[in-house]
Amino acid sequence: MAASALRATRPARAATSTRRTVPSPLHPLDLAYTRAGLEPPAATPIAPEKIPQPYRSLLVHQRDMTLTLEAHFGGRVVLRPLSTFISGPWYYRRVLLAQEYSGRPVEMGAIRMKLAALPRKVQAEIRRNQVPLGRILRDGGVDFTSVPREFFAVEPNPEMMGVFWMREPRTLYGRRTEVLLDDRVIGDIVEVLPLV
């Protein structure tokens, strides 16, 4: 997640994970909401070309999301953990990325990651919940691939509206991305952008 942010280091092989299914476009964000006893926001799949600007330029790419957000919002982003838990081999976290200088929210993200697939130092840094995922992987020298698999429109629930400082419900946009290491899926990321 978010946090959320990953770079594409080489093209993904189409056969690796195109047939893989997940419970909903918002997975694993929907699971974090359910575990907290909250109704998840409603999400509707949308074709990338139907996403309005500037959301499209912020979502439809394989660049590092952290760097993309920092370039768009004009400064470094920081991570605020909202929830974490472990289920089997998977580590989950829901986070908010915010501008370092203003505190303005720039993304809500959720990850589901097989930490055992990563070097121990990187695992420990992810568990600290202090740094965006993309920055951790980049700085840790992890040769990963990030592939956006689905884009969606989101009708925010009251909790998401509060986190994003929204006064009234308006459609937001996001994406679900797979993280691959050695052509194996080791994680899923959902990223939702606030009003921009």
pLDDT of residue 137: 93
The predicted-structure confidence for 56-73, as pLDDT tens digits, reads as follows 999 999 888 998 999 999
Residue 22 is predicted with a pLDDT of: 67
Tally the C-alpha atoms within 13 A of residue 138's C-alpha that lie toward its C-beta. 16
Give yes or no for a contact between 84 and 93, defined as CB atoms under 8 angstroms apart. Answer: yes
Which pLDDT tens digit goes with each residue over 142-169? 999 889 999 999 999 999 999 999 999 9
pLDDT per residue as tens digits for the range 6-64: 333 333 344 344 456 667 889 999 999 999 999 999 999 999 999 999 999 999 998 88
What phi and psi values does residue 158 have, to the nearest 5 degrees? -60, -35
Residues 78-89 have a mean pLDDT of: 95
Question: The pTM is what?
Answer: 0.87
CA distance 104 to 19: 37
Q: Could you give the CA distance from residue 124 to residue 130 in angstroms, rounded to a whole number?
A: 11
155 φ/ψ angles, rounded to the nearest 5 degrees: -100, 105
> Rg of the Cα trace of the chain?
15
Q: Which domains does the chain have, with CATH numbers?
A: 20-193 (3.40.1410.10)
Token digits of residue 191: 């990223």
pLDDT at 20: 60
Reply yes or no on whether the pLDDT at 191 is more than 70: yes
